[in-house]
Structure 1
Amino acid sequence: MRKLVGVAYVLAVISVPAAAQQAGPASSKIVAVEEGLTSAVVLAGTPAPRRTIMTEMRRLNVPGVSVAVLHGGTIDWSKGYGVTRAGGAPVTPDTLFQAGSISKPVTALAALRLVEQHRLTLDGDVNALLKGWKLPVPPGEHVTLRELLAHTAGTTVHGFPGYAAGVAVPSVDDVLAGRPPANTKPVFVDTKPGTMWRYSGGGYTVIQKLIEDVTGRPFAEVLRNEVLRPAGMSHSSFSQPIDVASLATVAWPHDGLGKLVPGGPHTYPELAAAGLWSTPSDLLRYAIAVRDSARGADGRVLDRYLATAMLMPGKGNYGLGPEVHVTPADRAFSHGGSNAGYENFLIAYTGSGDGVAVMTNGARGNELGMEITRSVAAAYGWPSYRSIERASVPIPAATRALLIGNYAIPDLGSFSITGDGQGLAISLKEGVSEPLYASGPDTYFILSSDLVLHVNNREPEITGRIVTGPFDVPFAREADAKP
């Protein structure tokens, strides 16, 4: 059964010492971060346990983690933990990981630089600039770059699984058309553009083709010249597949059972959506470039007007590339990234200049990355990213029996609910389950993330919605699908 969001996890030897880049004035902060991990949700009336990075790596089966922390607009410290793969080298601050969907806000910065150069326009019809393949749209409609960047264009295809070693890799046009050897459906517009937010890796693949078509240059070359070099991201590239020499030193992906992903890193021809190789320090250099541009600093890589538009939250709390959250004291921009066997997270604040980037080579790395982010938030006094307290109530036996089963999520995958003693457990990822708690007769939650299930507990068909951040997706129990 294909699990939700395509994530799975890893068990590896993690006794290798961590490798630090810096241990000066920030050393006390490093210790506070390493020893202050907490879950996304804590049960009301129950003390929140504090965990360490190393113990959580073992619990979550993540073999390698790299962390870089931004403070006051500069990188305060960076450090690697664990190994690139079982029996492999220690992770260092310079170890490369696949960044997954963090490729999208990096691509957005390149697209906006092309807008500044008058080679692209934010509000014109993208089909007027696309060559050969055109984006299918409903009659009388057109799609803009602004809508593609903000996930409001109505484009299909949520994400991409990549291509395992030895498998034929399609061209970008093949991916967009959904023709072999592409392993995803065609990209087209199936809702009125601009009316709703829906995350779309397909939309960013349209941007990839758009950038190549207007520049006449390979996407990876354009991104190197327009973003990576100007931002000082000297370790980063959009090499897919990565060269053989580099492959020997990068962090390799692992599944949820602690095994290497067969053949190693998947290849992602969808470069704009998922093709970036990077380090946490380089991701923070991207964040610094965006922050400096929004503040109108000297040497900025983007016009202040465009940077401000990039960081203006719209539908789904997304700007033009990153997710954006405004607090009374500051503005945060962020993005997560999930490729096969890699999980990552980046966040920075435009006011304080604080932030963190976490990259992992384990499928349960997202949970670990968010724990590290909350620990950094506590150590540095951030206005957000704190644990949420929720009260739980007993689940009646009849309800418990009713909910056990397998559930389908249209176009995203599936999950299962099983019995767990007198309670329930949920499996959102292959081979991984965790307790499911009730906060009311039709509302359920987990501790690893701020994810809530709203369930119609009535036969004959049990339906509901999963809500987490801007994502709000329906599900329904599969027929005759008791686990």
Structure 2
Amino acid sequence: MRAFLALLLISIPLTPLAAAPPTFDGAMQRIEGPQFPNRQGLDPLTIQQIMARFHVPGISIAIIYDFQIVGTKNWGTADVETSAPVTDDTLFQAASMSKPVAAMASLKAVQLGKFRLDQDINTILTSWKVPYGGFGPVTPRMLMSHTSGTGDGLGFPGYAPGTPLPTLPQLLEGVAPSNTPKVRMVRPPLMAAQYSGGGVEIQQLALTDAVGKPFSQIAQDWILAPIGMRHSSFEQPLPLRMQPYTARAHDEAGKAMNVRWHVYPEQGAAGLWTTASDYARFMIEVQKTLAGRSTTVLNRAMIQNMVTPVGVGSFAVGFQIQQKGEGWYFQHGGSNWGFRSNAIAHVAKGYGMVIMTNGDGGGQVASAVLDRVAAVYGWDMLDKAILR
């Protein structure tokens, strides 16, 4: 697959799309309304009816076409208790969509010569060491592609605001006040792919040890600010100045959680607060760098690591890579307490989408919106275009 993707990126012309897109307003009319032809399922429903079915109070989307954001759209409320509307500036928890951004920060460190992508992680770490137990060594590439052999499967529940937060070594050791088990090796590296938020946190610690700065500052200086993600932050807890713009967490019934959100000291794995537009800027930066149109953060050779699957499984460094229909896409979803999100973009063509939601039922809504956007904008993830 790695050789095929490399050939794909060389052989497909990385040029603006030839076909003119629909106007954004026209596209949104088709996306928001009942779908024709009616394939049953959710097709007869409007977006707002789908939100009501899955009890999702609010969603925000940004649509990418020809390597730029062509429009944004928001539905519903950021907080059912205040009825504040979702806007372009509403902050959502990106959850596991944090991981590709964190991966880009580590790749920047590699590009700057701080460490190597295939270096033994224990030669980078200074504040803690991975207990290999006969299974090592492990590298940054393995940790960021879920192929390292760590067996936690995490997923983090987060912490109520105001409660004690663990340090990264405490979290990795599973000792108080950590609310998750110890991260440990369960198999040799590259034997199988197993999703591991704990592995990503090992890499976060290695990055901060190597650079000598807090992770949130590294991400701000190297990724968020250069790309123009002005409404995003990895700071946990979120700074008071940004809290008025946040969406609230809601459960599967659409009811407000007992606190507005959880705090995630696992910043690289789950800690990004962002908007749909800001995250779309990140996805576009990946696309433009792959196309040789940007070196704002990484060079073209380094960015290839984010779309080249590692050994086993479908994960590259940061992103999951999948063939959908006739096209190849890089993507990542997110699932925090009361938040669901998804981002997807074509590896060679300049289109994609980001959707953020503030409800535990948001995954179903995101899938429905994605299907409609792909159909209206003619993405090649559809084997055959759906007639409208």
Q: TM-score range by the shorter chain?
A: 0.7 to 0.9
- The residue number in structure 2 matching 1:342 is 339
- The residue number in structure 2 matching 1:49 is 43
Alpha-carbon distance change, 190 to 278 in structure 1, aligned in 2, over 3 angstroms: same
* 8 A Cα contact 2:135 2:187, kept in partner: no
1:274-303, Cα deviation, whole Å (9 max, x unpaired): 000001111111111111111221444212
Read off the aligned partner of 1:134 and give its amino acid letter.
K
Aligned-residue offset at 1:328: 7.7
Instruction: Tell me: higher relative CO, structure 1 or 2? Use CA pairs within 8 A at least 6 residues apart.
Output: 2
Aligned-residue offset at 1:58: 1.0
Q: Following the alignment from structure 1 to structure 2, what is the Cα–Cα distance between the partners of residues 186 and 298?
A: 40
Q: Following the alignment from structure 2 to structure 1, what is the Cα–Cα distance between the partners of residues 79 and 380?
A: 36
* 8 A Cα contact 2:135 2:188, kept in partner: no
Aligned-pair identity (%): 37
- The residue number in structure 2 matching 1:151 is 146
- The residue number in structure 1 matching 2:26 is 28
Aligned-residue offset at 1:246: 2.4
- The residue number in structure 2 matching 1:253 is 249
- The residue number in structure 2 matching 1:219 is 215
- The residue number in structure 1 matching 2:54 is 60
* 8 A Cα contact 2:326 2:383, kept in partner: no
* 8 A Cα contact 1:345 1:369, kept in partner: yes
- The residue number in structure 2 matching 1:309 is 305
Read off the aligned partner of 2:121 and give its amino acid letter.
V
- Bigger Rg, which one: 1
Question: How does the TM-score come out when normalised to structure 1?
Answer: 0.71
Of the structure 1 ranges 268-277 and 221-230, higher mean CA displacement relative to structure 2 is found in: 221-230
How many residue pairs are counted as aligned between the two chains?
358
Residue 351 (structure 2) pairs with residue 354 (structure 1)? yes
Q: Following the alignment from structure 2 to structure 1, what is the Cα–Cα distance between the partners of residues 305 and 245?
A: 38
* 8 A Cα contact 1:60 1:364, kept in partner: yes
Aligned to 1:31, what secondary structure does the other structure show?
A: helix
Match of 1:374 among 362, 371, 378: 371
Alpha-carbon distance change, 83 to 304 in structure 1, aligned in 2, over 3 angstroms: same
Aligned-residue offset at 1:258: 2.4
Q: Following the alignment from structure 1 to structure 2, what is the Cα–Cα distance between the partners of residues 132 and 171?
A: 11
Residue 137 (structure 2) pairs with residue 139 (structure 1)? no
Q: Following the alignment from structure 2 to structure 1, what is the Cα–Cα distance between the partners of residues 23 and 373?
A: 16
1:69-123, Cα deviation, whole Å (9 max, x unpaired): 0011110100111111113311011110000000000101111111111102111
* 8 A Cα contact 2:59 2:75, kept in partner: yes
Read off the aligned partner of 1:242 and give its amino acid letter.
L
Q: Following the alignment from structure 2 to structure 1, what is the Cα–Cα distance between the partners of residues 378 and 202?
A: 39
Aligned to 1:317, what secondary structure does the other structure show?
A: coil
* 8 A Cα contact 1:330 1:352, kept in partner: no
Q: Following the alignment from structure 2 to structure 1, what is the Cα–Cα distance between the partners of residues 236 and 254?
A: 24
Bigger fraction of residues in strand: 1
- The residue number in structure 1 matching 2:236 is 240
Aligned to 1:84, what secondary structure does the other structure show?
A: strand
- The residue number in structure 2 matching 1:122 is 117
Read off the aligned partner of 2:78 and give its amino acid letter.
T
* 8 A Cα contact 1:313 1:325, kept in partner: no
Aligned to 2:233, what secondary structure does the other structure show?
A: coil
RMSD (Å) for aligned C-alpha atoms: 2.0
Alpha-carbon distance change, 47 to 131 in structure 1, aligned in 2, over 3 angstroms: closer
* 8 A Cα contact 1:292 1:300, kept in partner: no
Of the structure 1 ranges 29-38 and 332-341, higher mean CA displacement relative to structure 2 is found in: 29-38
Q: Which runs of 5+ in 1 are unaligned?
A: 1-23, 388-483
Read off the aligned partner of 2:65 and give its amino acid letter.
H
Aligned to 1:316, what secondary structure does the other structure show?
A: coil
Aligned to 1:188, what secondary structure does the other structure show?
A: coil
Aligned-residue offset at 1:47: 7.5
Aligned-residue offset at 1:256: 1.3
Aligned-residue offset at 1:385: 6.1
Q: Following the alignment from structure 1 to structure 2, what is the Cα–Cα distance between the partners of residues 47 and 190?
A: 41
Residue 192 (structure 2) pairs with residue 196 (structure 1)? yes
Residue 292 (structure 2) pairs with residue 296 (structure 1)? yes
1:331-386, Cα deviation, whole Å (9 max, x unpaired): 31000001100000000113221101000000000110111011101111112268
1:193-239, Cα deviation, whole Å (9 max, x unpaired): 11110000000100110111001100000001111112111111102
Read off the aligned partner of 2:48 and give its amino acid letter.
M
